[in-house]
Amino acid sequence: MPLPQPEGLEDRIRALEQAVRDLQSSITNRSGLTTASAGWVIPNQGTPSPPGDGGHLTALGDEPYWTESSGSSYSLRTPPFPKGVAVSNPVLVLGDAPASYNSTFADTQSAAINEVHNRLIDLLGSLRGAPLINSF
């Protein structure tokens, strides 16, 4: 909006000062994009254009989204990395211990290997359920 051109220099200074006051009040009265009195509250917004550097944090529905400078945008609830390839359960077949081994030693080794096998099966099940790796 162009400023009116008053007659005298004092009138022009007064008009400029009033224009500065108006601009300052319009800036300070603008509500923020976020609030943080009880955690960050981010209002729903459309996906912004990619920034030149860094990224934009926005909300779409109840999902927080991150838009990178590369243009990729993803939900922060779902990890942005791809799932791993399918992993089959290990098959553990223990043969008889050699004759030179003590049978107690062989039993201890067998129990330890079975424990590792069971823990690995549990880990794979957990990762598939997360879902961080694909099922086959």
| Structural domain range at position 126 | 82-136
In-domain check, residue 37: no
| 63 and 75 Cβ atoms separated by less than 8 Å | yes
Residue 130 located in a structural domain: yes
Per-residue pLDDT at 97: 66
For 89, phi then psi, to 5°, come to -65, 140
Longest CA–CA span in the chain (Å) reads 114
Write out 32-80 in H/E/C secondary structure: CCCECECECECCECCCCCCCCCCEEEEEECCEEEEEECCCCEEECCCCC
How many independent structural domains does the chain possess? 3
Q: Give the per-residue pLDDT at 83.
A: 66
pLDDT in tens, 50-104: 778 888 888 887 788 888 888 888 888 876 666 666 767 777 666 666 667 777 8
Q: Which amino acid is at 85?
A: V
How many Å apart are CA 122 and CA 117, to the nearest integer? 9
pLDDT at 6: 56
